[in-house]
């Protein structure tokens, strides 16, 4: 009995060349996709793309979404799994999440130079805009227009926005009984504590508690760190110590920028959680930033693209002009960028450790206390008046139900307040 020969599928191209069958075609496509992901992104292209996306992104989450759409969906430079790892890692380290993702993306595409280029491109749009806001804020016209009544209404809108953010983060991050207890204790500690050391101790205690009470006890942690990485970690630890130490007020201005770099090491909960932390640094007699200046900066923050930590150039300009804006931006964003690149090389070993992950869960839960205390402190500076309650109800409805953009709410409140003041002056 003769056996029929096994048939094979041949695919012929237009020019007559023989192409592989179905399996070979799939392998060829996979190899081409892998080669495309391995291409070197030109530094100028990387800068141009990240700068453009950052200029059109209000908030870190918007920047992450646009970066994923461009480099994963459209260009295929990274796989979806690889980009998800970048996002997860950005949430695990302090600093602005969107900028942390941009730095990691640049490092993945072009190494150390790419990390610097992508980091600068992600920061530059809001650096320029917030510095311009600070310049116009210094003019007599804006000083006269920014009445105390208008600032109070802006404070109410800001407190409402932070309260809604706190509600969303609490639902997402605080779930277990132990996490709720840690969050409540964190709120009480932050409300009565006004020292930077309290922030550092609270975050450290939250992580340590999560580590100790983890249900998995026999998971070893093995991380090999190079000598250069140890030097960088030592420098970042020194900044953190300078921020936490209770120094005399005469050193507030001299050590402002190193202490700002240390403050950035405590910012795990997003932009609004930085409000109590940054206030301890800038609202002091030696620095000269008033409560109104501080509140207005955070009110302007949602109007500018970038993460909510874009207030830092504003404060820097009020302290020392253009040079202060530049140094303040570098002090806050460079350490977190260096740390996230270091974490990209080592933290994947820790991420697989269940005790480490349990500690990070407790840490993220406690950071919601910064948002709650920020709302209470802003509300405490606003006089009790029914008109401010109307502003709170209006802004809450716009943010929670109607999803109205932040700049529309601020603009509406400013127009109504201006008409009210003009009508009252005529009467």
The domains of the chain are located at 43-114, 128-150+177-377
Q: How many helices (H) and strands (E) does the chain have?
A: 17, 2
User: Per-residue pLDDT tens for 6-23?
Assistant: 444 343 443 344 444 443
Q: Which stretch of DSSP H or E encloses residue 161? A: helix 148-173
Confidence (pLDDT) at 144: 59
C-alpha span between 142 and 366 (Å, rounded): 38
Spatial CB neighbours of 16, under 8 Å, sequence gap ≥ 6: none
**Among 301, 258, 261, which Cα is nearest to 133's?**
301
Spatial CB neighbours of 175, under 8 Å, sequence gap ≥ 6: none
Confidence (pLDDT) at 67: 85
Backbone angles phi, psi at 306, to 5 degrees: 100, 180
Q: Which segments in the chain show pLDDT lower than 70?
A: 1-39, 61, 88, 141-147, 194-196, 217, 219-227, 269-272, 346-352, 421-427
> Is the pTM here over 0.75, yes or no?
no
User: Per-residue pLDDT tens for 378-418?
Assistant: 888 788 888 899 999 999 999 888 888 777 888 898 888 87
Q: In this structure, is the dihedral angle defined by the CA atoms of residues 35, 54, 374 and 240, taken in order, positive or negative?
A: positive
| CB neighbours of residue 45 within 10 Å | 12
Confidence (pLDDT) at 295: 82
């Amino acid at each position: 009995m003769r056996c029929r020969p096994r048939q094979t599928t041949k695919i012929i191209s237009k020019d007559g060349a023989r192409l592989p069958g179905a399996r070979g075609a799939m392998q060829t496509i996979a190899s081409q996709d892998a080669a495309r992901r391995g291409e070197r992104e030109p530094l100028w292209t990387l800068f141009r793309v990240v700068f453009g996306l950052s200029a059109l992104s209000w908030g870190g989450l918007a920047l992450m979404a646009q970066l994923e759409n461009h480099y994963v969906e459209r260009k295929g430079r990274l796989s979806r799994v690889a980009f998800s790892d970048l996002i997860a890692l950005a949430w695990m380290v302090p600093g602005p999440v969107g900028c942390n993702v941009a730095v990691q993306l640049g490092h993945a595409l072009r190494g150390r130079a790419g990390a610097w280029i992508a980091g600068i491109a992600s920061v530059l749009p809001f650096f320029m805009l917030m510095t311009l806001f600070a310049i116009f804020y210094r003019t007599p016209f804006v000083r006269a227009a920014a009445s105390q009544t208008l600032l109070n209404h802006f404070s109410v809108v800001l407190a409402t926005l932070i309260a809604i953010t706190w509600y969303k983060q609490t639902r997402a991050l605080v779930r277990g009984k132990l996490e709720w207890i840690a969050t409540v204790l964190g709120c009480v500690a932050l409300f009565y504590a006004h020292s930077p050391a309290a922030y550092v101790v609270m975050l450290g205690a939250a992580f340590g508690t999560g580590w100790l009470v983890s249900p998995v006890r026999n998971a070893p942690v093995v991380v090999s760190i190079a000598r250069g990485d140890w030097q960088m970690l030592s420098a970042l630890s020194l900044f953190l110590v300078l921020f936490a130490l209770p120094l005399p007020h005469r050193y507030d201005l001299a050590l402002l920028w190193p202490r700002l770099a240390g403050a950035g090491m405590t910012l795990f909960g997003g932009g609004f959680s930085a409000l109590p932390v940054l206030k301890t640094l800038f609202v002091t007699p030696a620095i000269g930033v008033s409560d109104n200046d501080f509140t207005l900066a955070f009110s302007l923050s949602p109007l500018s693209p970038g993460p909510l930590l874009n207030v830092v150039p504003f404060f820097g300009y009020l302290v020392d002009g253009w040079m202060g804006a530049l140094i303040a931006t570098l002090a806050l964003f460079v350490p977190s960028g260096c740390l996230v690149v270091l974490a990209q090389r080592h933290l994947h070993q820790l991420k697989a450790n269940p005790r480490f992950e349990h500690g990070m869960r407790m840490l993220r839960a406690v950071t919601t206390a910064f948002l709650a205390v920020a709302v209470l402190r802003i509300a405490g500076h606003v006089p009790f008046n029914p008109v401010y309650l109307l502003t709170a109800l209006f802004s809450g409805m716009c943010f929670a139900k109607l999803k109205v953009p932040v700049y529309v709410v601020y603009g509406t409140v400013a127009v109504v307040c201006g008409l009210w003041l003009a009508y009252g002056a005529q009467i």
